[in-house]
Amino acid sequence: MMTRHLTRVGTAAAVAAVAAAAALVGCAAPAAAPATDHDAELAAMMKASFHDRGIATVDRLVQDDSDAACSKAMGAPLPAALAARLQQEAAATVRPPADGRYIGDWRVGEKLAQNGRGMTWTDKSAAPSANGANCYNCHQLAPQEISYGTLGPSLYGYGRLRGVTDLASPTAKAVIEYTWAKLYNAKAYNACSGMPRFGAHHLLDDRQLADVMALLLDPQSPVNR
């Protein structure tokens, strides 16, 4: 009797232990939650949070292929083939100045470089002529500056360091054409560049670009003195 009773007790205890273990496993491994489309959530949030206001319209939220790819990469390098394709597409947008004049007045270019105004909802016009170049916000331009951004490299000595002592020289020609393309659409050289696409996005007109070019390349500019 005693043995049979102990056997029944042992069996009941074993069953209870198994049930408890099963309950614990159930708590430790809940059913998988349905996948969330975070991109869709973000798009919906952005659409709900912004609206047209003055010249600032919500079409600015629409990403092109390059912006979308770089956002998805989250700072990681793009696959080589994708980066090459995006840079080739960006290079195809670059147009030389309509009047063939790459170099303008560095004095005007200096004022543009130190002007961060333009394209905000309070501005009355989206015309490029109403905008500044905002260069100081990311770059140093001259050693006497006490306030400038560091998102981009220093531009002090830009032309001088590239051997531009005569704007009519063959050396200058290659640097001039490169610099124009860089200002026009920087993604032609770096698919994920954060630099504004001044020409491709009509942020500056040809005359303004030529004046900024002069600031960077004219040997008499404070950038090169």
What pLDDT digit, counting tens, does each position of 160-198 carry?
A: 999 999 999 999 999 999 999 999 999 999 999 999 999
Which residue, among 115, 105, 114, 117, has the nearest Cα to 142 in the 3D structure? 114
pLDDT beyond 70 at 24: no
Domains of the chain by range and CATH?
Answer: 65-224 (1.10.760.10)
User: CA torsion sign, 181 to 185 to 186 to 192?
Assistant: negative
pLDDT score of 11:
47
41-55 pLDDT, tens digit per residue, is 887 888 889 989 999
pTM of the full structure: 0.81
- Give the mean model confidence (pLDDT) for residues 100-127: 95
Per-residue H/E/C for 3-36: HHHHHHHHHHHHHHHHHHHHHHHHHHCCCCCCCC
Type of residue at 117: R
- Residue 30 is predicted with a pLDDT of 58
List residues bridging with 56 in a β-sheet: 53
Residues 6+ apart with CB under 8 A from 152: 138, 139, 195
Residue 8 has pLDDT above 70, yes or no: no
Q: Please determine, for residue 143, whether its predicted confidence score (pLDDT) is greater than 80.
A: yes
Span 145-156, pLDDT tens digits = 888 999 999 999
Given a cut of 90, is residue 88 above it in pLDDT? Answer: yes
Sign of CA dihedral 103, 104, 105, 110: negative
